[in-house]
């Protein structure tokens, strides 16, 4: 066998070991991402081969948790992809205003910057007080950062530009306190947010959601896992509920394509138009 074939076999064994031992299923993640992050982890751990890593993560839970963090994608920022927030304000928020209460699932929330972005815009639209936001991720370390709402001040200039582009109607600094080299977001933004560990590859639905947001996550999964998770989102939405994927992902050519209609093509916002029992026919 050639070296790359041996490495592929080692990765298969590693992912199977992680699933069997801990229940974390990375087997359907995009292969290139897993390969790249596995090599980086090996280098940082001072190991040469993945086969050396397998027995160690089976017996060392701390090392396993470090590997999970390496596999977890936490790239995000406040008001990332601001045009998607403009689309939400234009196409989704007016409908949400017709409901007496709103349930939102922000899946794959990472360290929470986009959850706070959404909360700010909901406040400005008069929607926050009747909203409950379920913000989930499988990375506990990222969730802890999200719960605290404390971020580096270094990139606030870019975040402020994003906020303005997203159509924010107030001054962004009104929502946080700058202290030393950090910004701390106002506790009122967390009042209606429930941060929770949820693994999209293994855990169940969040029922009766009016809006599901999951941006820049599906691109890290293969087609089979994308279909599984999109079905999970569909099952979690009410009839006429909204799914927002952002500009980089789509439901085209997936198993749920016929369940939704397109609300905004460029920002991949969809509305569920078929009841769950109809989709089984």
Domains defined for the chain, CATH in brackets: 3-71 (no CATH), 82-279 (3.40.50.150)
Q: Residue 281 — pLDDT band, cuts 50, 70, 90? A: very low
Q: Residue 207 — pLDDT band, cuts 50, 70, 90? A: confident
Q: Residue 191 — pLDDT band, cuts 50, 70, 90? A: very high
Which two tokens mark 31? 């292969």
- Segment (H or E) for 239: strand 237-244
Q: Residue 276 — pLDDT band, cuts 50, 70, 90? A: low
Lowest mean pLDDT among 70-84, 88-102, 105-119, 239-253: 70-84
Q: Is the pLDDT of residue 20 over 60?
A: yes
Q: Is the pLDDT of residue 280 over 80?
A: no
* Total length of the chain: 281
* Mean pLDDT value across residues 38-63: 94
pLDDT of residue 278: 58
pLDDT of residue 248: 86
Whole-number Å distance between alpha carbons of 136 and 198 = 5
Residue 262 phi/psi, 5-degree rounding, is -80, 130
Residue 135 phi/psi, 5-degree rounding, is -105, 115
**Could you give the 3-state DSSP secondary structure of residue 77?**
coil
Whole-number Å distance between alpha carbons of 135 and 146 = 9
Q: Residue 75 — pLDDT band, cuts 50, 70, 90? A: confident
Q: Residue 236 — pLDDT band, cuts 50, 70, 90? A: very high
* pLDDT above 90 as % of the chain: 83
Q: Is the pLDDT of residue 218 over 50?
A: yes
State pTM to two decimals.
0.89
Query: 202: Cβ–Cβ under 8 A, 6 or more apart, which residues?
Result: 23, 24, 25
* Mean pLDDT value across residues 12-16: 96
How, if at all, do strands 102-107 and 131-137 pair?
A: parallel
Whole-number Å distance between alpha carbons of 210 and 173 = 29
Lowest mean pLDDT among 7-11, 52-56, 68-72, 116-120: 68-72
């Amino acid at each position: 066998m050639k070296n790359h074939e041996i490495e592929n076999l080692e990765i298969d064994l590693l992912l199977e070991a992680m699933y069997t031992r801990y229940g974390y299923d990375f087997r359907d993640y995009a292969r290139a991402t897993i390969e790249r992050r596995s090599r980086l982890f090996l280098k940082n751990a001072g190991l040469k081969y993945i086969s050396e890593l397998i027995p160690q993560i089976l017996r060392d839970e701390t090392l396993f948790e470090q590997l999970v963090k390496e596999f977890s994608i936490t790239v995000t920022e406040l008001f990332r992809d601001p045009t998607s927030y403009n689309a939400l304000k234009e196409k989704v928020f007016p409908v949400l205003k017709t409901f007496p209460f709103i349930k939102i699932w922000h899946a794959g929330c990472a360290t929470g910057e986009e959850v706070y972005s959404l909360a700010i815009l909901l406040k400005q639209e008069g929607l926050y007080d009747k909203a409950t936001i379920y913000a989930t991720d499988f990375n506990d370390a990222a969730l802890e950062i999200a719960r605290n709402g404390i971020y580096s001040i270094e990139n606030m200039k870019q975040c402020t530009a994003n906020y303005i582009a997203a159509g924010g109607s107030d001054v962004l600094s009104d929502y946080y306190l700058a202290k030393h080299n950090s910004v701390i977001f106002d506790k009122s933004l967390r009042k209606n947010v429930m941060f929770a560990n949820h693994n999209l590859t293994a855990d169940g639905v969040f029922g009766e959601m009016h809006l599901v947001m999951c941006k820049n996550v599906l691109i890290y999964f293969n087609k089979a896992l994308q279909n599984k998770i999109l079905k999970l989102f569909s099952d979690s939405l009410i009839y006429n509920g909204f799914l927002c994927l952002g500009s980089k992902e789509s439901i085209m050519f997936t198993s749920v394509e016929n369940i939704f209609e397109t609300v905004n093509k460029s920002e991949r916002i969809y509305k569920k138009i078929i009841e769950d029992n109809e989709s089984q026919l």
